[in-house]
Amino acid sequence: MFVVAILLWGIVFLNASLEPVRLAVITAETSDAFRNAVGQPVQTGVFVRGRMDLFSRTGNAHLTIPISGQKGRGVLREWAQQDSGKWRLCGLVYRPDDGESPVTIVSDKGSPCRPD
């Protein structure tokens, strides 16, 4: 019974932590500047780094998401907040590995998000 409870908790935790990553990638793919820098198709790396508060209804996520495509590779730097169970982007920037200029996809200036 204990093992089943841990497994269920792990599935819930993994699914909750994937939502901000999904939101960042989907939003980035709508950006012409991002698509021009990375190319298509876009692939997300396995080792997402950062911190998340998953246990409150108003949590924060500060994530670095490895990303690659036909034209380039780099990371998406995401700041997102959860409000009443729904995640929203507060800031999203693509930073290419080759040292080219970062691409701001969602600016954190004027964001309705609360600083954490």
Instruction: Kindly state whether residue 114 falls inside one of the protein's structural domains.
Output: no
Q: E strands along the chain, which residues?
A: 43-44, 49-52, 60-68, 73-83, 86-96, 103-106
Instruction: Kindly state whether residue 14 falls inside one of the protein's structural domains.
Output: yes
pLDDT bucket at 11, cuts 50 / 70 / 90: very low
Instruction: Kindly state whether residue 19 falls inside one of the protein's structural domains.
Output: yes
Mean pLDDT of the chain, nearest integer:
83
The answer on pLDDT for 69 being more than 60 is: yes
Q: Can you tell me the distance from the alpha carbon of 112 to that of 36, in angstroms, rounded to the nearest whole number?
A: 28
Q: What percent of the chain has a predicted confidence (pLDDT) above 90?
A: 59
Half-sphere exposure of 9 (CA within 13 A, CB side): 8
Question: Region 73-92: what's the mean pLDDT?
Answer: 91
Instruction: Kindly state whether residue 24 falls inside one of the protein's structural domains.
Output: yes
What would you report as the CA-atom Rg of the chain, rounded to the nearest whole angstrom?
A: 15
CATH of residue 86's domain is 3.10.450.320
Our count of domains for the chain comes to 1
Instruction: Kindly state whether residue 111 falls inside one of the protein's structural domains.
Output: no
Q: What is the pTM of this model?
A: 0.80
